[in-house]
Structure 1
C-alpha cells in the first residue's frame, strides 16, 4: 500500500480519498476549509494535515481535486518545495491543458511525474468508485498511478502526452453540452404538443436518441427538479476552458459557444447552482424567444 496525499475534499474529492483509505492506502488529507479535512478523518482511516505542504511531505502519490486553474496553481506553489524525486502528482481537477503542461515541466525538474487526470461520472461515480478518468502524461508515471487510481476509477485511459487528459475532458463536456440542449428541446417540444413525456421517452430511449442524460435526467427535467447534479457554474467553467483551447487550436465549436451562452441565461435566471439539465427552464422563459 502507498502513502498518499489528497488535496481538495469537495463532493468528488472526499469520496475519492475515502476509497483510497478503504483500499488500505495511508492517506493524509487537506482542504482549504480545515473542518472538511477533520470531518473526513472521522469517517475514514486517514489524517488531516495542517496545510497542503504538510500533506505532501513524504508521500509517494499526491492527488489534487480542486476548482480551476488558479486554485491548482496556488496549491501547487505551496507543495512544490516538498515534491521529491519519484513522486507521482495526479491532478483530477478539470483545468486547462496549458496549465497541465507547465506543472508537468515543474514536476519533471524535481524528478517527479505529473499526470493530468480529469474525471467524469459525477458525485454518484465518485461515491461508488466508478469514475471515468482521462489521463495525460508520461507512460512510466501512468504505469505507477493506475493501480492506485483503480480505488475509485472504473475506466482509466491514457490519452497521450501532458495536457491530453484535459483536452479529452473538453471533448466530454462539448458532447454533453449539445446532448443536454437537444434533450431539453425534445422534452419542451413534447410538452408543448401535449404528449406524455414519459411515454415519449419510453418509445425513443431504446433507439438512436438514447443517452446517459436521457436515461438519468428526463424525469427530473420533466418535474423541474434541478437542485442536484453538476452545477451550471462548473459547466460554464469547463466550457470556457474548451472554448479557449478551441481558439488556440483553430477548432470550430459553434454549437458549444451557443450552449455556453444559453447557460449564461440560466445563470441570470438564478440557476448558478442548478444541474446542467436546467437548460429546459430557459426554453420556458422569455430568454428563449
Structure 2
C-alpha cells in the first residue's frame, strides 16, 4: 500500500519504520527539516514537499501533535484538493469534537476519514504491539485493516467518528491517574521507611496492581526520567483535553483538574521534556534519593 505519513515526531518515525518493515511503500514528510534528515539517514523515503508527499500516497497517515497542526497541514489551500479519493487516517490524540470537525472537512473534500489513535509508545510501535482504536469510515477501515494490523494485532472498529478519540482520552486519563496514585502511595511508603519491595510484593498479589507500577518503579527509585517515550508535556496536553471534554459533558472534572495542576507543577519544576512519570517529583517534592530510608 502506498502511504504518505505526515509527521515524524516521537511516534511518527517508529510507525513509519514499522510500516516499511511490513512491506508498505512509505513516503514521509515533516515540517521540521531536522526530523526529515534523521528519517532519511535511517533509510526512510522522505519528501520535503507536502503536496508531493500527499500526491504520492493513496492513504494519508497523520501523526501530528494536535488538531491545530492537523488542520494547518491537511487543509492548506494546496493540499485540500488532493484529499479527494484518499483515505485519511488520523493517529494523534485530539478531542472527539475536534476529530468530528476534521472528519467532516475531509469528507467535504472528497476523502474518507478514519480516526485511529493508538495506545503504546516507541517500543510498541517498533514491535507492532500498539492498541489501535479505529472509528469512522468503514470503507477506509476495511481498506487499511491489514496495514493497521501490522501496527497492532487487534484493531477494533468502535463506531462513528469521535468514539476512538473518546476512548483514547479515557486511556490517557488512566495513565495520569494510575501514575499519580502510585506516586503518592510510594511516597508514603518511602517516607515511613517501609521496605519498598515488601510493599510491592503485597501490591502485586492484590487486585490493585497494574503492570505500569513495576514499569515505572525504577524511574521513581532513581529519580531518573530521561529518554522519554512519552514526555510529561504531552500528557499535560492530553489531560487538558480530557478536562475540557468532561466539563462540556457536564461531568465533575475536579479530579482531572487536580491531576492537571500536579502535572503542570512538574513541568514548572523543569520536567516537561522528561518522562511523564516525573510527576512523582511534583507529588513528592524535595525527596532526596540519597536519604531514602525505604530503599
TM-score, normalised with respect to structure 2: 0.90
TM-score, normalised with respect to structure 1: 0.92
**Shift in Å at residue 127 of structure 1?**
2.0
Q: Distance in 2 between matches of 1:157 and 1:251?
A: 27
2:198 partner SS:
helix
**Shift in Å at residue 28 of structure 1?**
0.8
**Shift in Å at residue 252 of structure 1?**
2.1
Q: What corresponds to 2:292 in structure 1?
A: none
1:153 partner SS:
coil
**Shift in Å at residue 202 of structure 1?**
2.5
**Shift in Å at residue 283 of structure 1?**
2.8
Q: Distance in 1 between matches of 2:278 and 2:216?
A: 10
Q: What corresponds to 1:197 in structure 2?
A: 196
**Shift in Å at residue 99 of structure 1?**
2.1
2:158 partner SS:
strand
Partners of 1:230 and 1:276 within 8 A in 2: yes
- Distance 1:283-1:249 versus aligned 2 partners, 3 A rule: closer
1:73 equivalent to 2:83? Answer: no
Q: Distance in 2 between matches of 1:245 and 1:136?
A: 18
Partners of 2:232 and 2:279 within 8 A in 1: no
Structure 1 residue runs of 4 or more that deviate by more than 4 Å after TM superposition: none
Unaligned runs of 5+ in 2: 287-295
Corresponding pairs, count: 284
CA deviation vs aligned residue, 1:80-126 (integer Å, no higher than 9, x gap): 221122x1100111112222112211222233211111111112211
Partners of 1:187 and 1:222 within 8 A in 2: no
Partners of 2:184 and 2:284 within 8 A in 1: no
Q: What corresponds to 1:63 in structure 2?
A: 61
Q: What corresponds to 2:110 in structure 1?
A: 111
1:257 equivalent to 2:261? Answer: no
Unaligned runs of 5+ in 1: none
Q: What corresponds to 2:245 in structure 1?
A: 245
